[in-house]
Structure formats: C-alpha cells, structure tokens
A and B are shown apart, each in its own frame.
Chain A
Amino acid sequence: MGAAQLLQFTIAGLKNGAIYALIALGFTIVYASTGILNFAQGEFYMLGGMVAVWALRTLGLPLLAAVPAAVLVTVGVGALVERLALRPRRAEAPLVLIIITIGVSMLLQSLARHLFGPNEVALPPFTAGPSITFFGAAIERQTLWVWGLTAVALLVLWVLYTRTKLGLAMRATAVSHDSSRLVGIDTARVVMVTFALAAALGALAGVAVAPLTQTAYDVGARIGLKGFAAAILGGLGGPVAAVAGGLVLGLTESLSAAFISSTYKDAIALVVLLAVIFLKPSGLFGRAGREKV
C-alpha cells in the first residue's frame, strides 16, 4: 500500500466526513437549544440540493443565484417546521417532539417527490475543471468546496456563539429555558432561529454535495442517519465536537473499505459507534454535564 493510496483513502474519508459533519452540526445545535433530536435534518440536506437544481433548471437562475436561493428556501422551511409542527407541541415530552420530526421528514420527502419527481438530478460543480493532483492523489474541485464550506460554517457558528448577543441567548436557552425567559430572552424566537440555522447547514451540505453525487428526493433519510451517528460520536457536545465526529466517521468508513471490506464498511462504522457509546457514553468529544454549546 503506497503513500499516495493511503492519502487517497484519507481524502475520501475526509470528504465524506465533512458532509457528515455539516449534518451533525445541524443535529447538535438543535439538540443544544431544545433538547430534541431533529430527524428531519436529512430532509434539509435533500431540499438544498433539489431546490438548487429546480432553481437552476426550471427557473433558469445562474448557479451563483440558485445555490443561495436553495439555502434561503430551506431556511424558510426550517423555520416553518419549528413554528407549525413543533411549537404548538412545545410542552410535550422530548420523545413526542422527536416523533413529530420523523413525521415532518416523511412529509417533506413525499412533497419533494411530488414536486420534483422520482429521478435523480444533477447540479454542475461550483468550479469546473479537472481534479487537482496532490502528492499522487486526486482531489475533485468540489471536494475543496465541501471542506471550505464546512470550515466557514464552523467559524460562523463559533463567532455566533461566542461573539454575539443572539449566540449568548442561544447558549442561555441551552442551559435553561425558564431562567432564560426570566432574564428577558425570547426563547421561542431563539428556538426558531436555531431551526433556521440547522436548515441552512443541511441545505449547504446538500447543494455542496449534489455536484459530486447527484441528488434525489430520497437522499435525506440515509444522510440523516449518518449525520446523527456523527453527532452521537461527537457527543452532541458543540460545533467542534460535531465536526470531529463527522470526520472520524468518514475516515472510519473509508479505511474499513480500504483495509477490511467495502461490503461491511457501514457495519464496521456502526460497531465503532456502538463501542464508543458503551465505553464513553458522552461521546468522543463530549463531557458529561457540560454546557451544551
């Protein structure tokens, strides 16, 4: 096994890992401010890609406009999901809310199938051109976009959480809804902003990946599961932990496919996940009882 090949496996792992990381970020921030897991997160990813293709092909927008348009539409959907499906049931137990998100994911998937049809659709790469060769390993230009967007998302979240008033309100809400309300924070609004933000992250991942893989109305469930696994692996501990969880999951899959078996790579990744949960229930990068963001 040459060094170039090892590098190629690592690149493949980090590419998938970055995608998982963006989804895991969505899971993590929603969990932080509401204490629930949003299983419609994968559908935001699907919507990002599908709306971008729709805007490009049907509306005839240029790619430069279709991508932000797709993210904005998905942000709107995310906010509506919170307002219409979750807020009316805010007082229910978390399990009820989680089940509502599963229902929402089915609804969004069915809607997408009716609106956009059952076939897979393609989005052109953000920057055209052949792959870049790096020490004998090939990197698609779109992969650089995926990495870049993940880094930017992480940076923006970090600034938001540590440097802005909204971020402070989000962190306060994460600690306690009741106390936050007592000091004048509109927690309902904070939760809605969190959903919109999670939707933006999902949509961003969806549009960034569509040129690599094509997209379809049904891609959300699987990527949602991967992102969920990454979030758990990271310990639902915060943005950095989510990204780390995603990258570890991607690398585990890639290296298992490379050195053990491509058929069982998903199973191996799952075994690693279970092992982590058994040995360190708070996740690789989470600390029990720690502030959630």
Chain B
Amino acid sequence: MGTRRKTGAGHTFRRVMTAALIVALVALSAAGCSAPTSKASAPAAEKAPIKLGAVLSLTGTYAGLGVPERNAIEMEVARINAAGGIGGRSIEVVYEDDATDPAKAQAATTRLIEREGVLGIIGATGTGQTMGMRADIDRAGIPQVSMAGGNAVTAQFDKLVFQTPWPNRIVVPFTLDFMKKAGITTIALLTDSGGYGKDGRQVVLDDVAKYGVTVVADETFNAGDTDMTTQLTKIKAKAPQAVWMWAAGKEGAIIVKNAKDLDPSGSMRIFGAPGNGRTEFIDGAGAAAEGFTFAAGRILAPDSYGRGTKAFKVATDFIGRYTQKYGKAPDIFAGHAYDAISILADALKRAGSDADSAKLRDAIEATKGLVGVGGTFDLSATDHNGLTAKDLVMYRIEGGVWKVVE
C-alpha cells in the first residue's frame, strides 16, 4: 500500500510540475509577443537587433563551402556588434541550412521572411539554391546577397539580388585571355552537369570564338561520379592542348588524377575555375594537381593585392583573425561571405539603423569603392556584382601550393 501511495504521490507531483511548466511557457511566450511594443515605448537603452537571414549549404554537396561561409559571417557579426553595432543596434543573423537543395533553400527563405521577419538575406551558397529563392525574395521585396558564382545570379537581373563572387562572365574571358597568350587554341570541356558547371560551360561556349579558341570535345559528368576515365579517354582522342574542367566538389580531384593516369606526360594542360581554390582539392589530387591552372581572387595569395594597399590590409586583417579563430586560413568561400556581410553592414550604416528592406536595397545598390577580400565593389543599377577582371589572378599549383602566374 505504502509503495502504491508513493507512486500516486509521484504522479500528482509530476502533473503539478507539468502544469507549472505549461503556465511558465505560456507566460514566457506572451512576454515574447509583447516584447517589441514594450521595447518601442521604452527609451533607446536596449534597441532590438537588426535581423538578417542567412541561407547556407551546411550539409550536402556544398557543405565544405557553406561551413566556412558561416564561420566568416559569425566572426564578422561578432566584431561589428562588439564595436557597437549599427547606430546602436546590434546585428542578429538567423542561419538556415539548405542541404544543397534548391527546394530547401526556398523553404528556408519562406521561413526567414514569414517567421523571422528578416530585413535582408545572405545566400545561398550555390547557384541553384540562389535561383530557387528568387520567387520568395521578389514576393517579400527584401534584398538578397548571394555567395554563388553562377552567371545567372546577376545576369538574369533582379533588382533585389546581389552577388559577391566573380561571376563566370568575368572569370571565363579572363581565363580565355590567359590561354590565348599561352598559345592554346584547342580545348576540351569537362563540366559538372549541375548548376555551376552548366553555367560555366555555356559562358565558355559563348565566348571562345572571340579568343580564337576551339572546343574540340564537350563532356560532362554528374555530381558524385567516382571515375572520369571514360570522358577523359574520349577527350584525349581529340588531342586538345588543354582540358577545362568545371567542378567545385571532390570530382575535381578525381578528374586531375584520372587525367594524369591517361596522360602522364601532361600534354594536355588542365584548367579549372575559382571553385577549385580549396586545400581539399590539393589534398585529394596529390601530385596530379601539379601544373593545374585556375583563375580566382587574390585571397589565396594576399601579396598579390600589393603590399601596403587598402585591399592588402583588409584581406590580411581578415585572414589573420579567421586563422586565429578557426585554426585554418580562410578559403575563397569564407571571403565571399565576408564580402556579403561587409556589403550589408556598409549599406546599413548609410541607410540608417532603422531602414526598411527597400531602403536597404537602395543603399546596397549605391555601394561604391567598398574594399573587400574578393575585390573592390562598385555596384550600380545595372551591375549587381561590381567586380572586374582586375580582381582576378591566375594560379598554378606548384609543389602542392598555389602560385600566382605572372
């Protein structure tokens, strides 16, 4: 009997605790609901933070890109807030993971707009995800700063959408110019059939004629493929002077390794794209990466900014702080994220801390001479990227590290 009464008492106790918990939760959420009004009536002692959203690929194929992006944003937001925020208001970023899936990127955008009421959105990591967000961005009328390198992001112009990496329309002519000077006239393309590679391939096909270059083979692969020997065997039969691959993930390392096996003498030079500027690529490809050439921004070799210039200071400051905090030098993707948050913070300063989304958009578009790590951003009503070929350099992998090609 005693034990039964005991358990009965336990039940009652648990029920009381549950009820108390529910009451507490309801009270808390009610307080949460009334918070904005009470804060608005109070003097500006504690202003509500400026809320921004970030849609990043923290899982899936582009996880290796999205994670450094989040690192850079977190670090910069903490720095801005420690320095007093924007006009006395701190910045708060709500992070969403799109799992490298355009549909999830769209769902995340809806959530950020409807539930979080963000002023603007950073993201996405990838081109496909960035494009997937557009309908909701347009509907809500909030500005979006993307970190994806696809041409479509700003070529299919939208007055709300901005882009921090060098789009393919800058990268491709820059690389083709380099090839022309190196005497390369026949190339083969080996591109990812997904967003980034498809975008790059189209720009290359549109531009080659201007540089007197002919595409003799045009092969593709699918994300996740584990062997490219077949495509490269077909390419080798056409004997091009160079193979231009467009791959951001681990497929890039597979391609250079397979190419090395089929062509040990290196009669075909291998070119790539900014997405190959990752140490994982060199780790994966090993010795086969030697001689691999690609265009990217100056962040991989900060000396190339020119010692003593403002860009050099901005970049080395960012690289130093990032390396100290995360124990690893930032890659180009961390740089794109740094630029995205810098553009937003700069625009917020000019628009005022109480600006709405429309004013913020106008201020972003008016960005002039903002020195970031990807280059100097000069935005306008017709150019929502603002970078030029001057912000790019050619790199060649020598001795397992990137070297700037003069």
A265-B59 Cα distance, complex, nearest whole Å: 26
Interface assignment of A90: CB less than 8 Å from any CB of chain B: no
Stretch at the interface among A10-18, A68-76, A169-177, A192-200: A10-18
Name the A residues within 8 Å of B219 (CB-CB). Answer: 262
Set A130, A138, A213, A265: member contacting B254, Cβ < 8 A? A213
Interface assignment of A44: CB less than 8 Å from any CB of chain B: no
Name the A residues within 8 Å of B110 (CB-CB). Answer: none
Interface assignment of A212: CB less than 8 Å from any CB of chain B: yes
Contact B230–A257 (Cβ < 8 Å): yes
Set A1, A11, A263: member contacting B229, Cβ < 8 A? A11
Contact B284–A120 (Cβ < 8 Å): yes
Set B222, B224, B230, B284: member contacting A12, Cβ < 8 A? B230
- Tell whether A118 pairs with B58 under 8 Å between CB atoms, given A222-B224, A254-B230: yes
Set B221, B222, B237, B250: member contacting A120, Cβ < 8 A? B250
Set A8, A217, A266: member contacting B262, Cβ < 8 A? A8
Contact A258–B67 (Cβ < 8 Å): no
Contact B261–A113 (Cβ < 8 Å): no
Name the A residues within 8 Å of B66 (CB-CB). Answer: 118
Name the A residues within 8 Å of B58 (CB-CB). Answer: 118
- Bitwise, A116-139 to B at CB < 8 A (1) or not (0) is 011111101000001100000010
Contact B283–A258 (Cβ < 8 Å): no
Contact A122–B254 (Cβ < 8 Å): no
Contact B224–A219 (Cβ < 8 Å): yes
A151-B58 Cα distance, complex, nearest whole Å: 39
Contact A212–B254 (Cβ < 8 Å): yes
Name the B residues within 8 Å of A122 (CB-CB). Answer: 253, 280, 283-284, 286
- Residues in A207-227 with C-beta less than 8 Å from chain B: 209, 212-214, 216-219, 222-223
A219-B226 Cα distance, complex, nearest whole Å: 10
Contact residues of B: prevailing secondary structure? helix
A214-B237 Cα distance, complex, nearest whole Å: 27
Interface assignment of B291: CB less than 8 Å from any CB of chain A: no
- Residues in B249-278 with C-beta less than 8 Å from chain A: 249-250, 253-254, 257, 261-262, 264
Name the B residues within 8 Å of A214 (CB-CB). Answer: 250, 253-254, 280, 283-284
* Distance between A129 CB and nearest chain B CB, rounded to angstroms: 11
- Tell whether A8 pairs with B233 under 8 Å between CB atoms, given A131-B264, A209-B226: yes
Name the B residues within 8 Å of A8 (CB-CB). Answer: 229-230, 233, 262
Contact A16–B220 (Cβ < 8 Å): no
Contact A218–B254 (Cβ < 8 Å): no
A124-B288 Cα distance, complex, nearest whole Å: 13
Q: How many residues of B contact A (CB 8 A)?
A: 34
For A117, A214, A218, the residue with the greatest tally of chain B CB atoms inside 10 Å of its CB is A214
* Distance between A53 CB and nearest chain B CB, rounded to angstroms: 10
Name the A residues within 8 Å of B284 (CB-CB). Answer: 120, 122, 214
Interface assignment of B193: CB less than 8 Å from any CB of chain A: yes
Kindly report which residue of chain B lies nearest to residue A256, judged by CB atoms. B230
Set B60, B61, B221, B226: member contacting A262, Cβ < 8 A? B221
Name the A residues within 8 Å of B250 (CB-CB). Answer: 120, 213-214, 216
Name the B residues within 8 Å of A162 (CB-CB). Answer: none
Contact B234–A16 (Cβ < 8 Å): no
Interface assignment of B227: CB less than 8 Å from any CB of chain A: yes
Contact B231–A257 (Cβ < 8 Å): yes
Name the B residues within 8 Å of A216 (CB-CB). Answer: 64, 250
A124-B283 Cα distance, complex, nearest whole Å: 10
Name the B residues within 8 Å of A219 (CB-CB). Answer: 224
- Tell whether A218 pairs with B264 under 8 Å between CB atoms, given A122-B253, A209-B226: no
Kindly report which residue of chain A lies nearest to residue B260, judged by CB atoms. A131
* Distance between B195 CB and nearest chain A CB, rounded to angstroms: 14
A13-B229 Cα distance, complex, nearest whole Å: 9
A117-B67 Cα distance, complex, nearest whole Å: 9
A223-B224 Cα distance, complex, nearest whole Å: 9
- Bitwise, A1-38 to B at CB < 8 A (1) or not (0) is 11001001101110110010000000000000000000
For A5, A118, A122, the residue with the greatest tally of chain B CB atoms inside 10 Å of its CB is A118
Kindly report which residue of chain B lies nearest to residue A10, judged by CB atoms. B230
* Distance between B243 CB and nearest chain A CB, rounded to angstroms: 14
Interface assignment of B358: CB less than 8 Å from any CB of chain A: no
For A218, A254, A262, A266, the residue with the greatest tally of chain B CB atoms inside 10 Å of its CB is A262
A263-B226 Cα distance, complex, nearest whole Å: 14
Kindly report which residue of chain A lies nearest to residue B279, judged by CB atoms. A119
A1-B254 Cα distance, complex, nearest whole Å: 24
Interface assignment of B63: CB less than 8 Å from any CB of chain A: yes
- Bitwise, A249-261 to B at CB < 8 A (1) or not (0) is 0000010011000
- Bitwise, B178-213 to A at CB < 8 A (1) or not (0) is 000000000000000100000000000000000000
Set A118, A130, A258: member contacting B64, Cβ < 8 A? A118
Kindly report which residue of chain A lies nearest to residue B226, judged by CB atoms. A213
Name the A residues within 8 Å of B221 (CB-CB). Answer: 262
Contact A12–B220 (Cβ < 8 Å): no
For B58, B219, B230, B253, the residue with the greatest tally of chain A CB atoms inside 10 Å of its CB is B230
- Bitwise, A135-155 to B at CB < 8 A (1) or not (0) is 000101000000000000000
Contact B230–A262 (Cβ < 8 Å): yes
A121-B262 Cα distance, complex, nearest whole Å: 24
A265-B230 Cα distance, complex, nearest whole Å: 11
- Residues in A242-293 with C-beta less than 8 Å from chain B: 254, 257-258, 262-263, 265-266
Name the A residues within 8 Å of B227 (CB-CB). Answer: 12, 15-16, 212-213, 254
Kindly report which residue of chain B lies nearest to residue A110, judged by CB atoms. B59
Name the B residues within 8 Å of A266 (CB-CB). Answer: 222
Contact B280–A120 (Cβ < 8 Å): yes
A1-B233 Cα distance, complex, nearest whole Å: 10
Known: A120-B250, A212-B254, A254-B227. 5 other contacts (CB 8 A): A5-B233, A138-B229, A140-B261, A214-B280, A218-B63
| Subset of 7 A-B contacts with CB under 8 Å | A113-B63, A120-B253, A122-B286, A214-B284, A217-B63, A258-B233, A262-B220
